[in-house]
Amino acid sequence: MRLRSISLSSRILVASIVLAVIVAGVFALLIHAILTLDDAREREAHSKEVTAATVVLEKLVVDLETGLRGTVLSLDRSFLEPWDAAVKELPGRFRGLEELVAGDPAQLRRVRAVRTAINNYVNDFARPLVDIARDAPAVVRSAVATEEGQRRVDEIRSQFDQLLATEDARAEASAESATTQSRRAIIIGVVALLLSALLILLFGLYLRRSMAKPVREVATAASSLAGGDLSVRLEEGGPGEVGELTSAFNNMAEELERRGRELQSQNEMLRESEHRKSELIRIVSHELRTPLASILGFTSVLLTRDVGEEEQRQYLEIIDREGRRLSALLNDFLDAERADEGHLQLEPELIDVGRVVAEQVRLFEGQSDKHTLDMDLRARPLPVHGDAHRLAQVVGNLLSNAIKYSPEGGTVQVVAEQDDGLVRVSVRDEGLGIPDELQENVFAKFFRGDAPASGIPGSGLGLTIARSVVEAHGGRMNFESGRGKGSVFWLELPKAAGG
């Protein structure tokens, strides 16, 4: 949709220009109508001037005739005074009328014809008649002369009538045109007013729909967002800037929600870690108290009771063993802490991992009569550049776990082999196994899964330390397991080149 991509400000600009052009056009029409009306009025006024000038001339002709007739009848020269005045006035009046009708050739022709007729009447008829009247009054009073005079004057009058009638028609046409123009101007004005009002209304509605409504929606959504509802979203789209606004708003809401979730998960992790820490304190104190109970208890017995020599020795052995257990436990805590900070100390030398495994298996064989330890070390020697004590600790941990987590007994299968530059040790048990949902935390510090509920002792540190030791050797460690299916824990170490 190309239209959608046109920005709102461009649209408003275009709409404003269109509105302005329409309003200007409408007003131009109105002004034109008014000017035409003016023109018609002017023409009407002009016609009236022409009529007035014509009437004045007609009156002069009447004066001429009256003067002539008086002179002829009375032979009194005094009657000729108005006649002379009229004759003198005629040329000026005609010039004025000719100027008025200069733009109208038909009327000009008529005016000139009247002028010629009057001149002829004055020069060819009236003056000779006045001259003859002195010598032969009877002749000038004859019917022939009188009739001739009457005919000429009638001719002139009829020419004047024609002139006036034409001008009247012109004036009437102009007046009619003026009325029409004035009506048209009123209609155009009203239509223009209504049209402009309608356009402004439409423009306002458009602004409201395309700007006010989306802005209000954004404001409402922003209030919801501020109120804590981070899931609020706007329908994206809308022209130009509105589209940008809604999509920017949605991005912002998305980002806020994402950060909220992040914060929440960080919070949960913190709470989890806090929980683990307090769990750790409980575990540490519990784990320390059990050997401590033996040490303090037997010491107290030795100090306060009479005990035979043989028992004395046995109790001291227990105190010694439990003291060492306590010490080992403390070392585990410290190791876990060091592994956490990456400060695990190794004392590497060329060793046979097979020998380390064999020693540990021998050590654990005597610890449980319910378990059979099955060892496969056919591939010996398994040379590795490593810390024998630390690796023994790792293998010991795997064996101890295999026994602890198969409380019903069974076979623990230990295999050490080499393959493709790697030495691999695996410990398989037939025990409880690890449910899928707990597997991702198996190597986490202090994680013990279902062990506490099952009464299986431990600090939850063994595997954390074991994996750190293996990784510090450049190897890796992992497991496969399932609920009730037992577990296989394995580790791989780089084989020493010299072996």
Partner 1 sequence: MQARTAKTILICEDDENLRQLIRVVIGAGYHVVEASDGDEALELAGEHHPDLIILDLMMPRVSGMDVLRRLHQDGGPTGTHIVVMSAWPDADGAALEAGADAFLQKPFEPDALTAIVNDVLGEPAA
| Binding positions for partner 1, rule: CB under 8 A | 282, 285-287, 289-290, 292-298, 300-301, 304, 311, 315, 318, 321-322, 407, 452-457
Residue type, 118: I
Two tokens, residue 44: 């009407």
User: Closest separation between CB of residue 392 and partner 1, Å?
Assistant: 24
- Show the 3-state SS of 409-432: CEEEEEEEEEECCEEEEEEECCCC
CA quadruple 20, 21, 26, 27: dihedral positive or negative? Answer: positive
- Our CB check for partner 1 shows the closer of 204 and 457 to be 457
- Our CB check for partner 1 shows the closer of 23 and 302 to be 302
User: Closest separation between CB of residue 432 and partner 1, Å?
Assistant: 11
To the nearest 10°, report the CA torsion of 396, 397, 399, 404. 140
Count of residues in the chain: 499
Rounded-to-integer distance, Cα 289 and Cα 101, Å: 137
User: Closest separation between CB of residue 273 and partner 1, Å?
Assistant: 21
- Our CB check for partner 1 shows the closer of 241 and 311 to be 311
Two tokens, residue 61: 């002709």
Enumerate the β-bridge partners of residue 21: none
DSSP structure class, residue 79: G
191 Cβ neighbours under 8 A, 6+ residues apart: 26
Rounded-to-integer distance, Cα 213 and Cα 460, Å: 61
Find out whether 163 and 5 touch, Cβ atoms under 8 Å. Answer: no
CA quadruple 101, 106, 111, 116: dihedral positive or negative? Answer: positive
Find out whether 452 and 470 touch, Cβ atoms under 8 Å. Answer: no
- Our CB check for partner 1 shows the closer of 293 and 334 to be 293
- Our CB check for partner 1 shows the closer of 125 and 315 to be 315
User: Closest separation between CB of residue 449 and partner 1, Å?
Assistant: 15
Rounded-to-integer distance, Cα 19 and Cα 36, Å: 26
- Our CB check for partner 1 shows the closer of 194 and 293 to be 293
User: Closest separation between CB of residue 427 and partner 1, Å?
Assistant: 20
User: Closest separation between CB of residue 293 and partner 1, Å?
Assistant: 4
User: Closest separation between CB of residue 307 and partner 1, Å?
Assistant: 8
- Our CB check for partner 1 shows the closer of 142 and 314 to be 314
User: Closest separation between CB of residue 434 and partner 1, Å?
Assistant: 17
- Our CB check for partner 1 shows the closer of 432 and 469 to be 432
Question: In the block, which residue shows the tokens 């109105």?
Answer: 30
